[in-house]
Chain A
Amino acid sequence: MAIEVRIPTILRGYTGGAKVVEGAGDTLGDLLTDLDSRHEGLRARLVTDAGALHRFVNVYVNDEDVRFLGALDAKLNDGDSVTILPAVAGGAR
């Protein structure tokens, strides 16, 4: 089993148009490094040079925001689902 990663439209240029890709890693940081080995450039869009998640990127593990789970150190397990989304201004506020 692997970890399923949902890619937003805006980043599918890095995944050959794929909506969902698979990867592996014990932490989110490891997973992004693994993904970058097959989808070069993807990691740099999500992680700053200083090694933090970009401010306008939200990443969820099983629907929970990773910033509250240790961010790039968030632990992952086989079968987890990871979703990457751009931050948007609310809905019908």
Chain B
Amino acid sequence: MSRYDSLLDACGGTPLVGLPRLSPTVPEGAPPVRLWAKLEDRNPTGSIKDRAAMFMVRRAEEEGRLRPGDTILEPTSGNTGISLAMVAKLRGYRLVCVMPENVSAERVQLLRMYGAEIIFSPAAGGSNQAVATAKQISAEHPDWVMLYQYGNEANARAHYETTGPELLRDLPTITHFVAGLGTTGTLMGTGRYLREKVEGIQVVAAEPRYGELVYGLRNIDEGYVPELYDATVLSRRFSVGTRDAVLRTRQLVEVEGIFAGFSTGAILHAALAVAHEAVRAGRGADVAFVVADGGWKYLSTGAYGGTLAEAEEALEGQLWA
């Protein structure tokens, strides 16, 4: 079905497409190893975060925490903010986003266009500081509702109830699920669902490894692990550097025509690693991975053109996923 009563009803149900050119070649007679891309950029605001935003708002409404006209507060510099801004507009809420002051102009413009208000936190503290600032503002405004994507069970629940079942319906032979690790909601929700339904499923995380500048100020004793994270859901976890993420992002558009953001390149890098392992082991595999968003919001980085070294330099110090 492709007719919906409103934009909110058009969330999810994204296509799963095969990647015949990027899937590894197997020796003659060996079982096939196939890659499949879940096109989450086909959601209402263009990212997988629409699913989490919808579920978090709906849950808060059901629990009576959100009433018409209320203010939603969220630390976010990216897709979650854009998703929440759309949902808030259509459901009649005010949205206040807390974000580091050094985020790209596109983000700020997109959020303001959707009607969100922005409070900037100091650039030096990065997203850890945005989370801390949001918690402080929340304490000062007890009537504002902080959905808090890093610890909100409805974030993972969105994927348990939608992304997971969609994948299993479209690919009953799935052997691996690969997604990005940020709030951890996608991997926790989809991973739990698939583990319940598919014996031996491998749940694989791809985590962006940024340039040194991003980690420079981080103290090892004051690190941060999202409250939603449960390591037992994962089978493996890969750290993917900027260069590999850019290389794969470019390969995806050049070889298969899918124009994605850099986090997707990192995810594809991990997906290819497990696919090639399956080939070496002589095992068949159906590897499904998430295309988290399209590349539009990242064009201004300049990292889609030039050499890989230039792209790496352009993204140095940026939170590219």
Contacts and interface: CB of A to CB of B under 8 A. Distances in A.
B236 A64 contact: yes
Most chain A CB within 10 A, of B80, B205, B216, B220, is at: B220
Contacts, number: 117
Interface of B: 49, 76-80, 103, 107, 126-128, 131, 149-150, 182-183, 205, 207-210, 212, 214-216, 218-226, 231, 234-241, 263, 319-321
Interface residues of A, number: 27
B225 A63 contact: no
Given A93-B80, A93-B127, A88 B236 contact: no
A56 B212 CA distance: 17
A20 to B, nearest CB: 12
B174 to A, nearest CB: 20
A65 B219 contact: no
A62 to B, nearest CB: 9
Most chain A CB within 10 A, of B216, B221, B320, is at: B221
B219 A86 contact: yes
Contacts of A63: 209, 238-241
Overall SS of chain B's interface: mixed
B183 A93 contact: yes
Contacts of B225: 55-56, 87
Contacts of B107: 92
Nearest to B128: A89
Interface string A3-28: 00000111100000000000000000
A54 to B, nearest CB: 7
Contacts of A55: 223, 225
Contacts of A68: 231, 234-237
Contacts of A56: 220-225
B241 to A, nearest CB: 8
A91 B222 contact: no
Contacts of A89: 126-128, 131, 150, 224, 226
Given A85-B215, A90-B182, A92-B319, A67 B231 contact: yes
